[in-house]
């Protein structure tokens, strides 16, 4: 059974509840969440749940009907996210583990690690103890293989995953391995499961060759009941009568498991099909089916591999597969997990994550690295002279390095990979409205958070090559929003053609490169100097009160804002009358101003919407309260409402931060 405790339960009441359960032969696991604490009571239940429900400090009791208790969705409603050395498996991300079937020698494992890390893997796999069908086949390098795997993982910033085949190997493996893998042959080796579970480390549990889903979950229960909280299920194909592939990959297990368990689910397409050319399409199919990640075999020279060479991808095949996953993931509402750069990021990113917020009363925005090692690097979408670049320089008073990228997703990827400490994303324009793409990006990318905000005035200028005059212009290039914001000025020249470009800076660069006096660009005044263009007319925006709000993003947990004055939250509501009213009423109840509310459709759920809310405090109230009691109390109430009646769902804090306005 699951016992939900009162939020403000006294410690002596908690201890009495635990003692009562243990006296009735139930083993108690305490799970402390951000908003509530629960007891998971596991064992043969010989007491009436009502006896527990009346105990002081108990909010409610939820009986678990499944034979697997701690693995069941009844035990934990929200999906579990397993964190391994900063890498997260689960949630809204797709995490890829890759490496050779077996560690064969130092050069092989180091080259494998380098290639998979470069292509986007977030963990390194490799076998040191190999359970083989033939006693004459390569059995692995044992302890030497574990040591080499650890060294390669450390060199390229990748946590390591390896299979344990006997509890006798625990003393050798314990201090080296980040994630233990239980192979298909050992899925029901219950003594091994108990001993590995007792280590408390994350475990990947592969499905047995002929195991049912319930048998698989019962094996996971052994691990959870023995002490580990972090179990990752791995579908690797089951044995059927079909011989065209090594096994039959049961992708239907993914949605079935999703309804039964909170545990993250990954897929091993390599062992499932056993033929390398069939691995990438099945990997993509697994992502489309909802898998939280993949574990794939990659070898620098598969034809030379000492085991499973036929199913191991060449590094270039793996790179292509990762690019395809990058394209597919947003289509199914996912983002691809990225590892931070192992050496602390690109050299130009610098090691200093301290940035001063110049708004009155604000403190410093601080990260984990020491100050004074170099300029902050902030990624943005666009070229030199883009308004985002201007926002970066004004926010950091010219002391930041702006890293240009092709689009918003690339800017986010630069942050996730460690190439940049921050990303500057436009979120709203006072005239053109919200930048919906970035609202979706913030929801999809669970490994980034908002850590700051800056608003700048947008002043457009008409730029053209030297010698151009208004009378010679025939075509005007710019971003569609910029063209719309200058509509009144452009209407004075009805003969001009309006041609849309990806960015204002891109328009300026193109006009400069062509040198055609009949072409002009609408861009910033700064772009004129950068691209050596003449300003034919400055301040051509229709409304001089033209402002864009940018948010600064960073990897989750890497940056802290000491005195935030804003918070952004995303949530959804039940499809019933008054649900949004009830949700928003929480902010009013706790004295928070709702300054922004945006809705976006939830992919795959017609006529259901996700809401983005930005809240702040009324004037005259200390800004530090936002990150303190008021915002915590508001979110705690939203979570409780979700648990009690499901009116509010999927609450997530996008960030608590300070704001800065510049002119």
Say yes or no: 145 and 261 in one domain: yes
Say yes or no: 313 and 383 in one domain: no
Instruction: List pLDDT tens digits, range 286-304.
Output: 999 999 999 999 999 999 9
Nearest alpha carbon to residue 222 among 242, 198, 206, 255? 198
Find all residues with CB under 8 Å of 60, minimum gap 6, and list them: 3, 4, 53
> Rounded to the nearest 5°, which phi and psi values hold at 612?
-110, 125
- Residue 14's domain is classified under what CATH number? 3.30.70.1140
Residue 563 confidence (pLDDT): 65
Residue 628 confidence (pLDDT): 56
Say yes or no: 281 and 144 in one domain: yes
Say yes or no: 527 and 552 in one domain: no
| Residue 19 located in a structural domain | yes
Other C-beta atoms closer than 10 Å to the C-beta of 19 total 11
For the record, the structure tokens of 612 come out as 């983005």
Query: How is residue 184 annotated by DSSP?
Result: G
- Single pTM value for the model: 0.71
Q: Where does a domain end: 504, 522, 545?
A: 545
Say yes or no: 636 and 496 in one domain: no
Say yes or no: 291 and 176 in one domain: yes
d(CA 359, CA 372): 22
For the record, the structure tokens of 413 come out as 């990827």
| Residue 20 located in a structural domain | yes
Say yes or no: 121 and 266 in one domain: yes
Say yes or no: 160 and 282 in one domain: yes
| Residue 209 located in a structural domain | yes
- Please report the DSSP string for 402-422 in residue order: EEEESSHHHHHHHHHHTS-SE
Compute the mean pLDDT over every residue in the chain, rounded to the nearest whole number: 87
Alpha carbon separation from 594 to 145, 149, 541 (Å, rounded)? 56, 51, 29
**Average pLDDT of adjacent 10-residue blocks, the chain of 663 residues:** 82 89 81 68 73 86 80 85 92 94 96 95 94 77 95 96 95 95 96 96 96 96 92 96 93 95 97 96 97 97 93 96 91 81 39 36 40 74 92 88 92 89 93 87 90 92 95 95 93 96 93 96 94 95 91 87 78 85 90 90 80 81 56 78 72 81 55
> Rounded to the nearest 5°, which phi and psi values hold at 328?
-75, -40
d(CA 374, CA 102): 41
Which of helix, strand or coil describes residue 138?
coil
- Residue 94's domain is classified under what CATH number? 3.20.20.70
Nearest alpha carbon to residue 535 among 453, 595, 469? 469
- Residue 477's domain is classified under what CATH number? 3.40.190.10
Say yes or no: 640 and 571 in one domain: yes
Residue 653 confidence (pLDDT): 86
Residue 403 confidence (pLDDT): 95
Length reported for the chain: 663
| Residue 71 located in a structural domain | no
- The region, left, alpha or beta by phi > 0 then psi within -120 to 50, assigned to residue 28 is beta
| Residue 517 located in a structural domain | yes
Active site amino acids: 548, 550
HSE (CB half, 13 Å, CA atoms) of 153?
A: 27
| Residue 323 located in a structural domain | yes
Which of helix, strand or coil describes residue 608?
coil
Say yes or no: 425 and 287 in one domain: no
Instruction: List pLDDT tens digits, range 512-538.
Output: 999 999 999 999 999 999 999 999 999
For Cα atoms 451, 37, 40, give the angle at the middle one, nearest 5 degrees.
130
Q: Where does a domain end: 545, 576, 607?
A: 545
Say yes or no: 91 and 122 in one domain: yes
- Parent domain of 225: 82-333
Domain count of the chain? 4
| Residue 363 located in a structural domain | yes
Residues 129, 298, 409, 403: is their CA dihedral positive or negative?
positive
Q: Where does a domain end: 275, 306, 333?
A: 333
| Residue 338 located in a structural domain | no
Residue 133 confidence (pLDDT): 72
Say yes or no: 27 and 158 in one domain: no
Find all residues with CB under 8 Å of 353, minimum gap 6, and list them: 366, 367, 368, 369, 376, 421, 554, 558, 559
- The region, left, alpha or beta by phi > 0 then psi within -120 to 50, assigned to residue 577 is beta
Nearest alpha carbon to residue 276 among 295, 293, 290, 296? 296
């Amino acid at each position: 059974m699951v016992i939900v405790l009162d939020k403000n339960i006294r410690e002596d009441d908690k201890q009495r509840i635990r003692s009562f359960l243990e006296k009735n032969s139930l083993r108690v696991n305490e799970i402390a969440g951000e908003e509530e604490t629960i007891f998971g009571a596991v064992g043969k239940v010989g007491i009436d749940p009502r006896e527990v429900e009346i105990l002081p400090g108990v909010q409610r009791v939820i009986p678990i009907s499944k034979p697997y208790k701690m693995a069941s969705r009844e035990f934990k409603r929200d999906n579990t996210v397993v964190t391994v050395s900063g890498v997260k498996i689960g949630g809204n991300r797709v995490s890829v583990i890759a490496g050779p079937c077996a560690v064969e020698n130092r050069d092989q494992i180091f080259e494998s690690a380098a290639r998979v890390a470069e292509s986007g893997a977030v963990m390194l796999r490799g076998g040191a103890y190999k359970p083989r069908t033939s006693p004459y086949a390569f059995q692995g390098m044992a302890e030497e293989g574990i040591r080499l795997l650890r060294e390669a993982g450390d060199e390229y910033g990748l946590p390591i995953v390896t299979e344990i085949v006997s509890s006798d190997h625990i003393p050798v493996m314990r201090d080296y391995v980040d994630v233990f893998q239980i192979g298909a042959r050992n899925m029901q080796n219950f003594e091994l499961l108990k001993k590995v579970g007792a280590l408390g480390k994350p475990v990947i549990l592969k499905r047995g060759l002929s195991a049912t889903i319930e048998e698989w979950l019962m094996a996971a229960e052994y691990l959870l009941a023995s002490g580990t909280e972090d179990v990752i299920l791995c579908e690797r194909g089951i044995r059927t009568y079909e011989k065209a592939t090594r096994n039959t990959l049961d992708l239907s297990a993914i949605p079935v498991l999703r309804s039964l368990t909170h545990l993250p689910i990954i897929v091993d397409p390599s062992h499932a099909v056993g033929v390398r050319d069939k691995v990438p399409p099945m990997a993509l199919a697994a992502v489309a089916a909802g898998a939280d990640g993949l574990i794939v075999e990659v070898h620098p020279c598969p034809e030379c591999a000492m085991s499973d060479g036929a199913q191991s991808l060449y590094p270039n095949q793996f790179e292509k597969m990762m690019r395809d996953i990058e394209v597919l993931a947003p289509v199914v509402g996912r983002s691809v997990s990225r590892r931070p750069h192992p050496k602390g990021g690109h050299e130009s990113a610098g090691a200093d994550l301290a940035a001063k917020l110049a708004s009155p009363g604000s403190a410093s925005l601080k990260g984990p690295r020491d100050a004074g090692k170099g300029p902050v690097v902030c990624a943005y979408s666009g070229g030199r002279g883009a308004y985002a670049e201007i926002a970066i320089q004004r926010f950091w008073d010219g002391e930041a390095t702006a890293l240009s990228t092709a689009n918003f997703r690339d800017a986010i990827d630069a942050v996730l990979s460690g190439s940049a400490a921050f990303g500057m994303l436009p979120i709203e324009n006072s005239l053109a409205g919200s930048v919906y793409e970035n609202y979706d990006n913030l929801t999809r990318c669970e490994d980034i958070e908002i850590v700051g905000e800056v608003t700048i005035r947008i002043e457009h200028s008409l730029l053209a090559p030297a010698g151009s005059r208004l009378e010679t212009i025939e075509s005007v290039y710019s971003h569609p929003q910029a063209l719309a914001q200058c509509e009144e000025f452009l209407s004075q020249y009805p003969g001009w053609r309006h041609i849309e470009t990806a960015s204002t800076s891109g328009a300026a660069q193109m006009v400069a490169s062509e040198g055609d006096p009949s072409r002009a660009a609408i861009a910033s005044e700064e772009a004129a100097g950068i691209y050596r263009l003449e300003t034919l007319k400055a301040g051509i925006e229709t409304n001089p009160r033209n402002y864009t709000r940018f948010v600064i993003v960073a990897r989750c947990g890497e940056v802290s804002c000491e005195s935030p004055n804003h918070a952004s939250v995303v949530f959804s509501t039940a499809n019933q009358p008054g649900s949004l009213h009830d949700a928003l009423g929480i902010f009013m109840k706790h004295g928070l101003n709702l300054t922004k509310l945006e809705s976006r459709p939830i992919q795959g759920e017609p006529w259901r919407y996700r809401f983005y809310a930005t809240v702040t405090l009324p004037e005259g109230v200390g800004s530090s309260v936002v990150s303190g009691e008021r915002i915590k109390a508001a979110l705690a109430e939203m979570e409780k409402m979700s648990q009690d009646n499901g009116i509010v769902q999927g609450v997530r804090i996008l960030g608590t931060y300070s704001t800065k306005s510049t002119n």
